[in-house]
Amino acid sequence: MTPPAIETSAELRARIDAAMRARTRLATRPLGETAAALAAAATAWRANAELISALPAVARLDPTMVAATLPLVAEALDADAMAALVESELGTGAITRPAPTEVALVAHVLASNVPALALPAIALACLAGAAVVVKSGRDDPLSAPAFQHALAAVDPDLAATVVTAYWPGGASELEEVLLGRADVAVLTGSEPALAALAGRVGGRVLTHGPRASVAAVGRDGLEKAERVAHAVALDVALYEQRGCLSPRAVYVESGGRLAPRDFAERLAAALAGITERLPPVSTAVEERAATRVLREGSEWTPGTTVLSGPGGTVVYDEDPSFRPTLPARSVRVHPIASLAALPALLPAGHIECLGLAARDPCDLVPALRERGVSRLCPVGRMQRPPLAWPRGQHAPLAALLGHSGALRCTVET
Amino acid sequence: MTDALPLEAELTAAIDAVAVGGASLDFETWALRIFAHQFERNEPYRTACERRGVTPAVVARWEDVPPVPTAAFRHHELTCGPPEVVFRTSGTTAGPAARGAHLVPHLDLYRASALAAFREFVLPDGARPSCLFLVPAPVLRPDSSLVRMCAWVGEVLGGDHEWLVGEGGLEIERTLQQLGECAERGETVLLAGPTAAFVDLFDACRTRGHALRLGPGSRVMDTGGAKGLRRPLSRAGFFRECWTHLGVAGYSCVNEYGMTELCSQRYDSALVDRFRGRNLAPRRLLAPPWLRTRVLDPDTLEPVPPGATGLLCHHDLANAGSVSVVLTEDLGRTVGDDGIEVVGRVAGAMPRGCGLLLAEGAPG
């Protein structure tokens, strides 16, 4: 499987021009047809045997992990969910009307810490009525062209509005063309990468820098400790903890059926159990070193206990301050007197999602929104974001279209 | 004056003897003696060793002495006796409580180690340069091990010396003036400090259009690498700017690798290789005979194959008064049979190091 080669700025310019012309041909098409085509393409994409075979090597994931996560990506492109998103953001009846016209070209520069970021990127741009260029990251140049291929099979006109490309970062001529022409550039990656790109964008720019997530278990959640521990372990293990939705810390309310430290042990056991289904991939020396440093340092830190095994590393840490672990299935478990105290412990602007095992999270929402959290969901679903996820607290279609709105923090049940 | 601990005083004399070329040093014998000494006197270390079932009775090789991670220095007083001085790691993001503390009960040992290695690797030609230090004076930073080392270098190995970082940071105008005067007189200069301070100096030279030509034999010693840099600068870029702005060639630029938790340092091989006619040898970080470094597999803590990347674990005999074996958060690899290269720092590791000296306010 070979990603499409775009080697010259002239070639990229020509392909963008073609996508823009294709967009004009869809001017009268109802958005419902677009949503249906995207959903059908996602279904075909997740069954692409060539992609399933080739992706593990480039994405540095075990084949079992790829097999487990592609369906999670595809399910977000559900036709009904897309219709609901469109109606919610663009108004009642919008799904039966043509797409908005105010944004002609969206450029996505994707990170590749987790694979298949291209799918929601393409889908949202299509629903916003824009032609879209997706520049894939180094570790997944395959998902985007595979999706475009699937889309072409069900809706060649819509597929013609999509340009997928990969080139190594720093190819400045290509980046000039891409960033200079886009009405909106959506940039995902490390802070230095974002800083290097953002200043060259001609239109509006939306950035998604590094963020982390946390999980929390209330006293009532501890009533089903085994199930909750398994759900949290799954959230930790999926994508090898490389994404911004991966929990790096778990806050457990004291005073429940199970002590927080005992929950940490259940979590360590659950992580070990998951390795049978999702064996950890052999990680780079940097990640293994980070795990070693975490373990060794924690053993010398008062109030901490290291519970490590083949499934990963759980550090029970009485100090509740948020200190994110690094990837490789490692997580800190902190006791907390009350979940009400959690928002104040989270660093403002750094936490994307809170996975929750507690009966009623609504009281927490205002304070979490203030801390920059965009999403609350049940544990076990942290890695299954809907397309409507207001990443960075912005409604996804409104952000592309430049519509201002209140910062969002959604609650999934 | 504090009473010298016999073993530490004996080791100080042994290092002094090595430094003048009069003796060799049996690393393993010393390592095992020092482990027994630390096991007996350093309670937190003994507790950790016992938890792992390691005692002096079962350790037969220097490689088997248990390491402590640098994080341990943030939480425990790892010392074999009352400290003469407490050195603290730099770092700004996590606050003072997160700083590591190296309690040094026998300062003469640090002094002997630091001066001997500096003389060997930075002044192998026996030069006595004028020293311009891009760090605060000891009165401003009494808890900085780098500042202490510079003070000894200035007093013992240098001609005269100046401190060019004040409470407000690097004093650019005074630095440029001092450098200009030294250049005019054709003096041999040692300019030493964190890499970050050099970047500030280079930027000031560029802004003002200064292109100094320091006198023959002048040299640069920088430390800290990328930590605290205002802009990215590759090693090749550093050499280029040393030449452009100071007139100091790359082979006279010596990078120091040191840690607050260690009483010994490694140094870039460039100058000593050139002095000894080994111009074609690869650049690498060399150590004095009382410091050994192993490159370890993070999973097993066993040595990786030569040249492969792993965690750096230092065994510093000059740390006899605290803990000799320190597992770092640095990634590196061996180079040749006598050197290492530092290739990075574990992602997410706490920012620290003398590169941040400039970013911190000096205590009042």
Residue A225, min C-alpha distance to chain B (Å) = 30
C-beta of residue B206 within 8 angstroms of C-beta of residue B236: no
Which band of pLDDT confidence, cut at 50, 70 and 90, is reported for residue B361? very low
User: Measured between alpha carbons, how far is A79 from A39 in angstroms, rounded to an integer?
Assistant: 5
- Least confident range from A189-198, B38-47, B165-174, B189-198: namely A189-198
What contacts B305, CB < 8 A, 6 or more positions away?
A: none
Query: Would you state the pLDDT for residue A169?
Result: 72
A204 close to B (CB below 8 A): no
User: Measured between alpha carbons, how far is B360 from B105 in angstroms, rounded to an integer?
Assistant: 26
The DSSP bridge pattern shows strands B325-335 and B310-316 to be antiparallel
Measured in whole angstroms, the distance separating CA B120 from the mean position of its chain's CA atoms is 14
Query: Would you state the pLDDT for residue B92?
Result: 46
Query: Would you state the pLDDT for residue B364?
Result: 27
The DSSP bridge pattern shows strands A247-253 and A212-217 to be parallel
A300 close to B (CB below 8 A): yes
- Name the CATH superfamily housing domain A212-387: Aldehyde Dehydrogenase; Chain A, domain 2 (3.40.309.10)
Query: Would you state the pLDDT for residue B358?
Result: 52
What does the pLDDT look like over B198-219, one tens digit per residue?
A: 999 999 999 999 899 999 999 9
For residue A333, give the amino acid letter. Answer: V
Picking from A75, A65, A141, A82, the residue whose alpha carbon sits closest to that of residue A110 is A141
The dihedral sign for the CA sequence B264, B267, B269, B270: negative
Residue A206, strand partner residues = A186
C-beta of residue A179 within 8 angstroms of C-beta of residue A201: yes
What does the pLDDT look like over A353-374, one tens digit per residue?
A: 999 999 877 789 999 999 999 9
SS3 B85: strand
- Least confident range from A81-85, A152-156, A188-192, B49-53: namely A188-192
Query: Would you state the pLDDT for residue B354?
Result: 42
The pTM of the full predicted model, rounded to 2 decimals, is 0.87
Q: Kindly tell me the number of DSSP H helices and DSSP E strands found in chain B.
A: 10, 15
Which band of pLDDT confidence, cut at 50, 70 and 90, is reported for residue B346? confident
Q: Residue A10, exposed/middle/buried by CB under 10 A (0-12, 13-18, 19+)?
A: exposed
Contacts of A290 in chain B (CB under 8 A): 346-349
Contacts of B89 in chain A (CB under 8 A): none
What does the pLDDT look like over B212-244, one tens digit per residue?
A: 999 999 999 999 876 667 777 889 999 999 999
A287 close to B (CB below 8 A): yes
Query: Would you state the pLDDT for residue B224?
Result: 85
C-beta of residue B33 within 8 angstroms of C-beta of residue B65: no
What does the pLDDT look like over B89-146, one tens digit per residue?
A: 876 445 566 789 999 999 999 999 999 999 999 999 999 999 999 999 999 999 999 9
Which band of pLDDT confidence, cut at 50, 70 and 90, is reported for residue B353? very low
Structure token digits, residue A239 = 């994508």
User: Measured between alpha carbons, how far is A345 from A373 in angstroms, rounded to an integer?
Assistant: 12
C-beta of residue B331 within 8 angstroms of C-beta of residue A285: yes
| Domain positions in chain A | 9-210, 212-387
Size of the A and B interface in Cβ pairs below 8 Å: 59
Which band of pLDDT confidence, cut at 50, 70 and 90, is reported for residue B2? very low
C-beta of residue B355 within 8 angstroms of C-beta of residue B195: yes
For residue A264, give the amino acid letter. Answer: A
What single DSSP character describes residue A357? Answer: E
- Least CA distance to A324: which residue of chain B? B348
Structure token digits, residue A407 = 């910062």
Question: What's the distance, Cα to Cα, between the start and end of chain A in Å?
Answer: 38
SS3 A310: coil
Query: What stretch of H or E contains A132?
Result: strand A131-135
CATH number of A9-210: 3.40.605.10
Contacts of A292 in chain B (CB under 8 A): 298-299, 301, 311
In this structure, what is the dihedral angle of CA atoms A363, A88, A112, A102, given to the nearest 10 degrees? -140
The DSSP bridge pattern shows strands B339-345 and B325-335 to be antiparallel
C-beta of residue B261 within 8 angstroms of C-beta of residue B146: no
The DSSP-derived string for A388-406 is T--GGGS-HHHHHHT----
- Least confident range from A80-89, A152-161, A229-238, B223-232: namely B223-232
Range A174-199 average pLDDT: 89
Q: Cite the DSSP H helix spans in chain B.
A: 6-19, 27-41, 43-51, 72-75, 107-121, 145-152, 172-185, 195-208, 235-241, 270-275
- Is B298 within 8 Å of A285 when comparing Cβ atoms? yes
User: With b meaning 16 or more CB within 10 Å and e meaning fewer, what string describes B74-94?
Assistant: bbbebbbbebbeebbbbbeee
C-beta of residue A9 within 8 angstroms of C-beta of residue A177: yes
- Is B347 within 8 Å of A287 when comparing Cβ atoms? yes
The dihedral sign for the CA sequence B118, B123, B128, B131: negative
User: Measured between alpha carbons, how far is B137 from B158 in angstroms, rounded to an integer?
Assistant: 16
- Is A286 within 8 Å of B346 when comparing Cβ atoms? yes
What does the pLDDT look like over A80-108, one tens digit per residue?
A: 999 999 999 999 999 999 999 999 999 99
- Most A CBs within 10 Å, among B68, B77, B299, to test the A interface: B299
- Is B346 within 8 Å of A289 when comparing Cβ atoms? yes
